[in-house]
Amino acid sequence: FIVVGLDSRAVPGMGKRSLDSIYLKLGQVEMDDMAEGIRALWNRRYIDKNRVGIHGTSYGGYTAVMELVRHPDVFAAAAASSPPTDWRNYDTIYTERYMWIPEENLAGYDAGSAMTYADKMKGRLLLYYGTADNNVHPSNSLQLIHKLQQLGKSVDLQIGPDLGHSAVNQQRMMEFFIENLVMIEDRGSRTDDRASANGPRSPVER
């Protein structure tokens, strides 16, 4: 794998103007920034743009889910651990600093919900949560699973019995990416002539 780390406009150290760009818009600006960062790599001969994966825990898990459903043309697989999936399900002391209250920012909450884009999901999702998570309640993952089931979409699920805010086993995550990014037939939907002319290119894992 080629491993890529990207910063969006909302990362610490970028100044207030940058942070203001996500106010009332969690899950929008920063997700689009990262997707554009990956698209910028598509012209590299050693990158296979059909085999891009993303993983993360907590907000990183939210990022992984949102990228998979919001940008299905960019990400083919995601491993998401303990993700909030709708900010209405998370604690208000954090959420309302960025999103204000749902009654006065309904459009922002809807746009930041993974369920809003679930019907667009084309890639594979590995979802993990701990049953004793008192930070991001398991209902976040269950709500997403329920939505995907309604849409007839599959999800790989890992559960940590009696575990709190934690992440999927690293070995299982690697197996998931190998299964879904390496040991697969060429999707062909986003390949170009250089793929065959220069041999296989490396998958990318963010």
Q: What percent of the chain has pLDDT over 70?
A: 89
- pLDDT for 33 beyond 80: yes
Could you list the beta-strand ranges (E) of the chain: 2-3, 47-57, 77-81, 124-130, 156-160, 202-205
pLDDT band at residue 10 using 50, 70 and 90 as cut-offs: confident
Q: What percent of the chain has pLDDT over 90?
A: 81
Question: Is 55 marked active-site?
Answer: no
The CATH number of 8-185+201-205 is 3.40.50.1820
Where is pLDDT greater, at 163 or 191?
Answer: 163
Please identify which of the residues 7, 21, 119, 165 carries the catalytic annotation: 165
Per-residue model confidence (pLDDT) at position 9: 82
Per-residue model confidence (pLDDT) at position 12: 74
Kindly give the residue spans of alpha helices, DSSP state H, lying in 21-131: 29-39, 59-70, 92-99, 106-111, 114-117
Whole-model pTM: value is: 0.87
pLDDT band at residue 5 using 50, 70 and 90 as cut-offs: very high
Mean pLDDT of the chain: 90
Q: Which amino acid is at 61?
A: G
pLDDT band at residue 8 using 50, 70 and 90 as cut-offs: confident
Domain ranges of the chain: 8-185+201-205
Tell me the β-bridge partners of 124.
77
Query: 81: burial class by Cβ within 10 Å (0-12, 13-18, 19+)?
Result: buried
Please identify which of the residues 82, 113, 133, 141 carries the catalytic annotation: 133
Question: Is 58 marked active-site?
Answer: yes
* Order of all β-strands in the sheet with 2-3: 2-3, 202-205, 47-57, 77-81, 124-130, 156-160
pLDDT tens by residue, 78-118: 999 999 999 999 999 999 999 999 999 999 999 999 999 99
Please identify which of the residues 58, 81, 113, 141 carries the catalytic annotation: 58
Q: Please give the angle made by the CA atoms of 78, 80 and 82, to the nearest 5 degrees.
A: 175
Question: Is 189 marked active-site?
Answer: no
- pLDDT for 200 beyond 70: no
Q: Which of 81, 89, 73 is closest to 121 using CA atoms?
A: 73
